[in-house]
Amino acid sequence: MSGHSYSDPCPNCESDDTNFYQDHKPFQYIQFECLTCGMYSQMHVDQMDLSDLNMTRRDYGDYDDVEFIPLETQKPINKEWFSGFMKREDTHEKRIYAISYAYIQSVDTDVETIKKLSDKDFIALAEDSGMVWSQLEIFIDDLNKQQHLAIHRVIEVAK
């Protein structure tokens, strides 16, 4: 076993109810979670594109403008070796589906019937009424400007 666990004060709430883990294999890293406020830190590995790499080398390297020679290629990251630390691609997104009172009345049904619909049927009805949002801020802004909603659901759907 190369790593070890310990408890330190949370940098956010200063609680000692934390789980810290430090390891040096396959490289040096620390991650933690606070069981009081929920703050956490995890190691993620990614790779800069060639343009960002050259800009970083120029900004932080020991070069002057005359000596700096940008790289034309870069070694790809070993995704097999670092896979446990790579950012996971999010294949789903949360959308807010809503149905207004006016639309419910126009399709001659009631709120209780709508509440009992499966997510698939609710999505179809919300899309028919044109009330779908992908960002909470826009939903709230639209909600303040628009009609009264009878019901809404937040549903994860494939991107």
Please answer whether residues 44 and 85 qualify as being in contact, where contact means their C-beta atoms are separated by less than 8 angstroms.
yes
Tens digits of per-residue pLDDT, 109-144? 889 999 999 999 998 999 988 888 888 877 877 777
| Owning domain of residue 26 | 4-41
Which residue do the tokens 């709120």 mark?
111
Which structure tokens are listed for 54? 């050259």
| pLDDT at residue 33 greater than cutoff 90 | yes
Final residue before a domain boundary, out of 33, 63, 85: 85
Q: Are residues 60 and 81 in the same domain?
A: yes
pLDDT at 15 over 90: yes
Say what the pLDDT of residue 147 is: 61
Give the number of other CB atoms < 10 A from CB of residue 88: 7
Q: Does the pLDDT at position 91 exceed 90?
A: no
Q: CA angle 121-127-128, nearest 5°?
A: 90
C-alpha–C-alpha distance, residues 159 and 154, integer Å: 15
